[in-house]
Each structure stands twice: as C-alpha cells, then as structure tokens.
Homo-oligomer: A and B are copies of this chain.
Amino acid sequence: MANEVTVALVGATGAVGQEMLQILEERNFPVGELLCLADPSEAGSKLKFKGQTLTVGRADAQAFKRADLAFLAVGTEVSRSLAPLAIENDCVVIDNSYAFRLDDGVPLVVPEVNAGALTTHRGIIANPNCSTIIMVVAINPIHQAAGIKRVVVSTYQAVSGAGKAGLEELDQQVRNYLHNDPMTPQVFQHQIAFNLIPHIDDFVEGDYTREEMKMVWETRKIMELPDLKVAPTAVRVPVFRSHAESINIETEKPLGAAEARRILESAPGIRVLDDPAAKSYPMPWFTSNRDEVFVGRIRKDISIDNGLAMWVAADQIRKGAATNAIQIGEIIIQQNLY
C-alpha cells in the first residue's frame, strides 16, 4: 500500500482539472488530503470528491506548504508563476502547461515511453502536449522494434484542447446552425462547427504553428531521439473530446503490418482496434472518456520500402492530459520521488 500524500490540484474547476478529480477517484490515487485550488475568482466554489464536498481554495504558499504533490492544470503563464512557489514550499509539481517542457532538468514524461526520466527531476515534471502524448504511445513500440527514421503526421484535434470554453463553443455553434443564427467565434480563430481550422496555437517558425512544433520538439525529448524527423500538420476538427492522428512512419528495418499489429497489441497503454471487415477502427465518439490510446488501420505504407501507416485516436482530456499526469504522480509516489 502506497503512502497517502497531500495533493494540491490547481485549476480544479477547468476541463482538465475536473477530469483529474474524477480520475484520482477512479484510480484510487493514494490521496490523504486533497486541496482543490484555483484562480482567486473561483475560490469558494464547491467540488465533489469521493462523496465529500470540497471548497476551492487559493493557490498560495500556504496551500503548497501543506501539499506533497501539486498537479497544475492551468495556462502556461499561471504555471510559470505558481511552479516556483510550489517548489519553494517543498511540493513536487506535475505541470500540464507548456511552460517548462523543454527546460533542461525537467523530465517530460509519458510513462509508457520514458518513466525512467522521472528519477532526474528537480521539483518539476512536465506533462507533454496532448497530440504528442497520443502519438508517442503509438509509435514508440514501432521504434523499439524497427527504429523510426521519419514521421509524417496530420492531426484531427478535438475542441476540448481549448478547454471547457472550446467544448461550449462547438455546442453553441451547432445550436446556432440549427436556428439559422450567426456563429460568432470567440475561442477559435474561425467557426469550428462543420469546419476545419488548420491553425492551433500561434505560428512560430517556418510557417509552422507551436502546436505542430511541439510534436517535433517534445517527441524528440520524450523518445530521446534529438534528430528524429517529424513533419506535422495540426488541424482542429468539430469533434468534442478525442484527438485523432493519421501517421506515416518510415523505419530503419522492415516491419510488416501484421507484426506491427502484434507488437502494438501487447504494448502498454494501447488498445488495437483494427478489423476493417467488421468496421472496427478508432473513432473519437467511441474513444472518448477512455484512458487508452486506440490504434487501427495498421498497414504497409505503400509509397516506401520500410514504412507503416496507422490511424490513432485517444481522449485528449484523459490520456492527452489528466490521465498521463496522474500516471506520473503514481510513479512519483511509488518510487518515493517526492
């Protein structure tokens, strides 16, 4: 039986925070005391955890002093200010934002891929970008078997990537459509209902978005392949919670589709859904509210000698964010890394 720890959940009222609350309960995370923290404007609101009503408090030094472990499910700027405060108060931080992901000394961890990196932490562990988590869980077993040279990936990303407000905007816009009311984009750059937006996060370099470059930078760090070639295109689609990705992989060694399927079937965190005759393949409506990364349409890439194509989907809020962070927390506790 693991030690029970005092857990601070910062951003407890957001989409990822609320999911974390549920997953902490589902997985019977060894929570002694749970401090639900949020922006001062949300302090005082009530949340349910294991049948108890908890009052949301402020994320301040006092709170972090009481906590052993803090999950930050807040924006990058808020993480930048709160993480140092938590560390000063001897609280290990598992941060969901982009703030520290590429910093030296900050492990960027997907437990199925690089749990070993956790031992090197200096107080902050970064939870990777959602699309990156989903991709590396699916491609790492292929890399272990045949060595990956190049990845071409096109994403189909759910609106949950923009949090509760993103979920509400899609819902509102389909209502507007049915009532012939105008759709006014607020969260996304353009209307998202019945549309596709090839623009997630800001444009940063070479006309790639930061979301796309995260899939390059973070994949290299997690897989410890600093020269891995990744060609990403990130697209927002009118889907609620599950991201999907069309992935073409070029490998060093030949690896047949059947063998790849067998490898993926026994890989951690993956569920293979790949029976085309039975119309079985991963689809967002059905992979939502689940923790696994679903992989299907596994087939030879017919355009190169050593290549595979696959279609991957996973819940962006769960494995793409909350579940992965909590898995990290479980290892931190099991291995006494706090």
In the complex, A303 has a CB within 8 A of chain B: yes
Residues of B close to A231: CB separation below 8 A: 248, 301-304, 307, 309
A279 touches B199 (CB 8 A): yes
CB distance from A328 to the nearest CB of B (A): 28
A208 touches B299 (CB 8 A): yes
By size class, the interface of chain A is: 35 or more
Task: In the complex, identify which listed stretch (A9-17, A40-48, A73-81, A150-158) lies at the interface while the others stay far away.
Answer: A150-158
Contact with B along A121-162 (1 / 0, CB 8 A): 000000000000000000000000000001110101000000
The residue from B246, B282, B303 contacting A151, defined by CB atoms under 8 A apart: B303
Interface of A is mostly: mixed
B302 touches A216 (CB 8 A): yes
Contact with B along A231-270 (1 / 0, CB 8 A): 1010101111000101010000000010000000000000
Residues of B close to A230: CB separation below 8 A: 302-303
A195 touches B285 (CB 8 A): yes
Q: How far is the CA of A49 from the CA of B235 in the complex (A)?
A: 39
The residue from B170, B196, B207 contacting A299, defined by CB atoms under 8 A apart: B207
CB distance from A256 to the nearest CB of B (A): 11
A206/B300 contact (C-beta < 8 A), A175-B178, A285-B191 known: yes
A239 touches B195 (CB 8 A): yes
CB distance from A12 to the nearest CB of B (A): 27
In the complex, A71 has a CB within 8 A of chain B: no
A194/B299 contact (C-beta < 8 A), A233-B311, A248-B152 known: no
CB distance from A318 to the nearest CB of B (A): 17
A229 touches B303 (CB 8 A): yes
Q: How far is the CA of A189 from the CA of B278 in the complex (A)?
A: 10
B246 touches A283 (CB 8 A): no
- The 5 A-B pairs of least Cβ separation, nearest first, read A229-B303, A154-B246, A231-B303, A154-B154, A195-B285
Interface residues, chain A, with chain B CB atoms under 8 Å away: 150-152, 154, 156, 170, 174-175, 177-178, 189-191, 194-199, 203, 206-208, 216, 229-231, 233, 235, 237-240, 244, 246, 248, 257, 276-277, 279, 281-286, 296-304, 307, 309, 311, 313
What would be 29 A-B contacts, judged by CB atoms less than 8 Å apart?
Answer: A150-B303, A150-B304, A151-B303, A154-B154, A174-B177, A178-B178, A189-B279, A190-B279, A190-B286, A194-B284, A195-B284, A195-B285, A195-B286, A196-B244, A196-B283, A196-B313, A198-B282, A198-B296, A199-B276, A199-B279, A206-B257, A206-B300, A207-B257, A207-B299, A208-B302, A229-B302, A231-B301, A237-B237, A238-B239
